[in-house]
Structure 1
Amino acid sequence: MKTAAGYLSFFTVALALGVASSPARANGLDVLEEFLRSAKTGRAEFTQVVTAPVKDGQTARTKTSSGTFEFQRPGRFRFAYSKPFAQVIVADGKTLWLHDVDLNQVTVRQQAQALGATPAAILASASSIQALQADFTLTAAPDAEGLQWATATPKAKDGQVQSVKVGFRGKELAALDILDSFGQRSRLTFSKVELNPQLPAGAFDFKTPTGADVLRQ
């Protein structure tokens, strides 16, 4: 699951957490547009299930993790994984930090280079549908599982992500479905969603723990 969390950090979601009520006939792309416009801050709990590509004669292998997420648009977010391993991913607007608590190791990257056409750009960075269209081709997907869906396909063909589907239930972000370039699927399901809460000062500050190994990329 650490691999999945690390992958999340370098593609990585924040996630905005809800949207204002949309017209009855609105599709998933309409809801995504309103979400980008109205969700300035947010927080939620999440469960992430990563499914490896199925090989001949094998059953699907999955790994599950869970934690909390906060964001402040534009470009600030925190994923705090609690199970099965403690891991923290923080974007402070300039730098992306990944802290593996068990290893006491911190990986540091420039945020602008690390995010790009990633789920994190959809959830926490882009402030409008027009900004998102610089890096993604956006389409409305058919309703499924009781959710309205929008699909974002990166325009760059050499990235880690093949496609991202964002699912909404009414006014709330409900799910994120990510297919990577190796055929691995990562599904994040959100609960206890709060839209535009007042987040504490320093919510996206990161201080390197004493004695941690620091890797700069």
Structure 2
Amino acid sequence: MTLLTKQSVKQTTLKQKMMSGALTGVLMTSLGVAAPMMALTQSATAAPADNLTAAKRLNKLLTNTKSMTANFSQTTKGASSGTFSGAMNVQRPNNFRWETKSPSEQLIVANGNSMWIYDKDLEQATKQNVDSQVGNTPALLLSGDPSKIDKNFKITQPYDNKNYYVLYPKSDSASFKSLSISFSGGKPVMMVLNDTLGQTTSIKFSNIKLNPSISSSQFKFTPPKGVDVINQ
């Protein structure tokens, strides 16, 4: 790849990386997030569940989700607007794979100890340690311990009769303001993240498979030859 080609690709890839940065924790964590529009379809008289009840219900839904595979369509509106699509795998405890295939290729793989972000077009792979900060991100939802979610988030259920939840991080250092999660038939179907930069990212899941057997190789990554490796 020539330097000129790399530079032309870099703008698209960095834009994608900015979007992924806010989502990395989210995607490692949550299994689906609810569309805000769902609230508009409910009766204005529907009563919200109290926080304790909401936490117990969300905990049950997430506990029943031990692994998941799905395709996704991700759209961000704000300073870094764009739409991407790909496939994801998650498996408790602490295993996550998020692979963007269009319009450019990027792979995020986490296994509880480390996390890799691989940009194929840039021929660059970044390795990060997964530490206790993950507990303050949405990643806790999908791959972490469901029973600890209420320690890191204020959990609300706006409509008592709908599996739609809105989570607010208790940590002041969190990279997002709120995370909405909705389930259909026990499956997470959509994720909506409002970050601290004023951006809104929506992720719709399709071809969802709940609790499938996933090979451990899906959560391992070895940088290809010739790829620049950055340790953070």
TM over 0.5: yes
Q: Which amino acid aligns with 2:158?
A: A
What CA distance in whole angstroms lies between the structure 1 residues aligned with 2:61 and 2:185? 11
Q: Which residue of 2 aligns with 1:179?
A: 194
Aligned residues: 198
Which segments of 5 or more consecutive residues in structure 1 lack a partner in the other structure? 18-25, 54-60
Identity over the aligned pairs, expressed in percent? 28
Distance 1:72 1:88, change over 3 A: same
1:156-199 deviation line (CA, Å, top 9, x unaligned): 11221111111112321111110001110111111111111011
Q: Which residue of 1 aligns with 2:151?
A: 134
Tell me if the contact between 2:94 and 2:111 (Cα under 8 Å) persists in the aligned partners. Answer: yes
Q: Which residue of 1 aligns with 2:120?
A: 101
Tell me if the contact between 2:94 and 2:143 (Cα under 8 Å) persists in the aligned partners. Answer: yes
Give the helix-richer structure, 1 or 2: 2
Q: Which residue of 2 aligns with 1:192?
A: 207
The Cα of 1:113 is off from its aligned counterpart by 4.7
Q: Which amino acid aligns with 2:217?
A: G
Q: Which amino acid aligns with 1:88?
A: L
- Match for residue 13 of structure 1 among 11, 27, 30: 27
- Match for residue 96 of structure 2 among 68, 77, 80: 77
Tell me if the contact between 2:22 and 2:176 (Cα under 8 Å) persists in the aligned partners. Answer: no
Q: Which amino acid aligns with 2:100?
A: Y
Distance 1:65 1:114, change over 3 A: farther
Tell me if the contact between 1:49 and 1:188 (Cα under 8 Å) persists in the aligned partners. Answer: yes
The Cα of 1:124 is off from its aligned counterpart by 1.7
1:86-109 deviation line (CA, Å, top 9, x unaligned): 000000120011001111111111
What CA distance in whole angstroms lies between the structure 1 residues aligned with 2:105 and 2:133? 21
Give the 5 Å matches for 1:1-217.
1-2=15-16, 3-9=18-24, 11-14=25-28, 15-16=30-31, 31-52=57-78, 62-113=81-132, 115-126=134-145, 128=146, 130-142=147-159, 148-217=163-232
Tell me if the contact between 1:29 and 1:150 (Cα under 8 Å) persists in the aligned partners. Answer: no
What CA distance in whole angstroms lies between the structure 2 residues aligned with 1:153 and 1:39? 21
Tell me if the contact between 1:12 and 1:115 (Cα under 8 Å) persists in the aligned partners. Answer: no
What CA distance in whole angstroms lies between the structure 1 residues aligned with 2:198 and 2:211? 34
The Cα of 1:116 is off from its aligned counterpart by 3.0
The Cα of 1:29 is off from its aligned counterpart by 5.0
What CA distance in whole angstroms lies between the structure 1 residues aligned with 2:114 and 2:71? 23
Tell me if the contact between 1:44 and 1:190 (Cα under 8 Å) persists in the aligned partners. Answer: yes
Tell me if the contact between 1:13 and 1:121 (Cα under 8 Å) persists in the aligned partners. Answer: no
Q: Which amino acid aligns with 2:167?
A: A
TM, length-normalised to structure 2: 0.77
Which segments of 5 or more consecutive residues in structure 2 lack a partner in the other structure? 1-14, 33-47
Tell me if the contact between 2:22 and 2:195 (Cα under 8 Å) persists in the aligned partners. Answer: no
TM, length-normalised to structure 1: 0.82
Give the strand-richer structure, 1 or 2: 1
SS at match of 2:86: strand
1:64-111 deviation line (CA, Å, top 9, x unaligned): 111101011011010000011100000012001100111111111111
Distance 1:96 1:113, change over 3 A: farther
SS at match of 1:132: helix
The Cα of 1:207 is off from its aligned counterpart by 0.6
